[in-house]
């Protein structure tokens, strides 16, 4: 069995229309959410053998914020294919990069991250957590999936079950949608 933790980048700053999308940084709310989620990850004792990351600035900053809350460095292996990737491409990246890792964290973007959860977890076993992901996979949210595979190269759709789905608003009320600016 393998484990996959998917994290959508935290909320980004849209104030500079001149920036390329890949160069957008986090806004203040995004930094706060990343630190809160990182603290939660530490409290849950989550440990990763491999971290795969999009090359986007907002993803690098999300990992930095997570690390602040987590209390130790979280260095991602950047793979350009993750940037704005589809679920099919994300599956390919995991098959190619997973190697011997038992627990992989991937930090990237929607809609690919959400679609990947829905492709990996059948409706019959997904329950309420899958439904919540299908409704919305907000920024800085975490979906942890247990995969019924022995090797990453075996990864295909419908082989997982959601162990947990956590949104920033589940951890800090002021990170809920009612507080959006």
Q: Is the pLDDT of residue 177 over 90?
A: no
- Here the CATH number for the domain that contains residue 134 is 3.40.50.1240
Mean pLDDT of 116-130: 90
**pLDDT score, position 180:** 53
Please tell me the total count of domains within the chain.
Answer: 1
Helix 123-135 and helix 112-120, axial crossing angle in degrees, nearest 10: 160
**pLDDT score, position 181:** 47
Mean pLDDT of 117-138: 91
Tally of CB atoms within 10 A around 3: 19
Full residue range of the structural domain in which residue 69 is found: 2-179
* HEC per residue, 128-161: HHHHHHHHCCCCCCEEEEEECCCCHHHCCCCCEE
Mean pLDDT of 22-45: 98
Each residue's pLDDT tens digit, 3-25? 999 999 999 999 998 999 999 99
Alpha helices (runs of H) in 84-122, residue ranges in sequence order? 87-97, 112-120
Each residue's pLDDT tens digit, 58-103? 999 999 999 999 999 999 999 999 999 999 999 999 999 999 999 9
Reported confidence tier of residue 178, pLDDT bands at 50, 70, 90: low
What is the DSSP secondary structure assignment for residue 50, as one 8-state letter?
E
pLDDT > 70: what percent of the chain?
97
């Amino acid at each position: 069995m393998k484990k996959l933790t998917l994290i959508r980048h935290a909320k980004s700053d849209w104030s500079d229309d001149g920036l390329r999308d890949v160069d957008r940084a986090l806004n203040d709310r995004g930094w706060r959410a990343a630190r809160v989620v990182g603290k939660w990850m530490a409290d849950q004792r989550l440990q990763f053998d491999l971290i795969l990351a999009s090359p986007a600035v907002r993803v690098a900053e999300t990992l930095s914020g997570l690390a602040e809350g987590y209390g130790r460095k979280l260095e991602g292996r950047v793979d350009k294919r993750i940037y704005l990737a589809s679920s099919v491409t994300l599956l390919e990246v995991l098959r190619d990069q997973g190697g011997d890792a038992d627990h992989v964290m991937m930090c990237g973007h929607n809609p690919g991250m959400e679609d990947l959860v829905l492709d990996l977890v059948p409706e019959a076993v997904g329950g309420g957590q899958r439904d919540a992901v299908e409704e919305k996979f907000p920024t800085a949210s975490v979906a942890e999936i247990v995969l019924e595979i022995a090797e990453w190269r075996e990864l295909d759709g419908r082989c997982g079950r959601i162990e947990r789905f956590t949104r920033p608003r589940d951890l800090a009320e002021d990170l809920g949608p009612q507080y959006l600016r």
